[in-house]
Each structure stands twice: as C-alpha cells, then as structure tokens.
Amino acid sequence: MQDAPILICYDDTDGSRRAIAAAAELLGPRRAVVLDVFPPLSVGQTTALLTTGAPGASFQNVNEEAAYDQAAAGADHARQAGFDAEPRAIVATPTWEGIIQIANDIDAAVIVIGSRGFTGLREAVEGSVSHSVAEHASRPVLIVPPAGEAASR
C-alpha cells in the first residue's frame, strides 16, 4: 500500500492547508494527489442561468478550470511539505461523491481531509463533507480537526 498515492482534499482554506501539514507529519513524503471539487453551478451562476438563459455548460467549464487552478495551488503546498504531488480537479455534487470517485479512480491508500469543526445545527444545515466521506469511503480517512477554539468543542 506504500506505493498507492494518498488523496489530499484541498479547498484553499486554513483547514485544507492544516490537513496537508498533518499528512506530511503522519504519513511522510510519498506520492499524493491533491484534489479540489467544485459544484457544476454556484448559487450566483444558477441565478445568472435562470435570469439570462446563458448556457450552463460554459459555467461548468469555468468551474472545472477554477477547480484545477485551486488544486494546482494545493499541490504546490503539498510539494513544499515534502510530497510528490499532482493536482486533480473534478466538478461534482455532492462534494463527497466527487472525493470518493477520485479516491476509487486512483486507488488511494488514504483520503486526507480537513474538518471545519461544525457541530449541532450548523452541521445539520451546512453538512459535513468530512463526515460524509468517512461514512461512504471504502478506505481509511484521515480527518484533520481545525486548530484553536473549534478543536476544543
């Protein structure tokens, strides 16, 4: 399993950068795929689509490019942490399904994901990608908790 890459989920937040650092510390230098998942349409794009009739395919292309750019930035962070990292991007809803799909495609040894630390009502309303990934993955998942106050809840 040492030859299998790890999958690091990256969304340009402190939590995803913290996940890269934790993975480097716990798993050591190895091959990694850094993934960003974008929705097919954002709320603003959906509104524009409904009000202007613009083609949805053009928004999806924009989102694919944005996801790749963000994954490339994450791969740079991962390389600085010692990984042999490559970026990967996907457009998917819900986010956890895209993560599971890529983990299966690359046969990841482990999925590494940061947690925002939501609890109670906020987690129920906004959801928890990390919990959904852990619930549905057929492989180990390393969930890295947020730093500071949220980690003490």
Q: How far apart are CA 129 and CA 117, in angstroms?
A: 11
- Give the predicted TM-score (pTM) of the model: 0.82
Strand pairing partners for 37? 90
pLDDT tens per residue, range 1-34: 568 999 999 999 999 999 999 999 999 899 999 9
pLDDT tens per residue, range 93-132: 899 999 999 999 999 999 999 987 655 544 444 458 998 9
CATH number of 6-147: 3.40.50.620
Domain residue ranges of the chain, discontinuous segments joined by +: 6-147
Q: What is the DSSP string of 100-148?
A: HHHHHHHT-S-EEEE-----HHHHHHH--HHHHHHHH-SS-EEEEPPSG
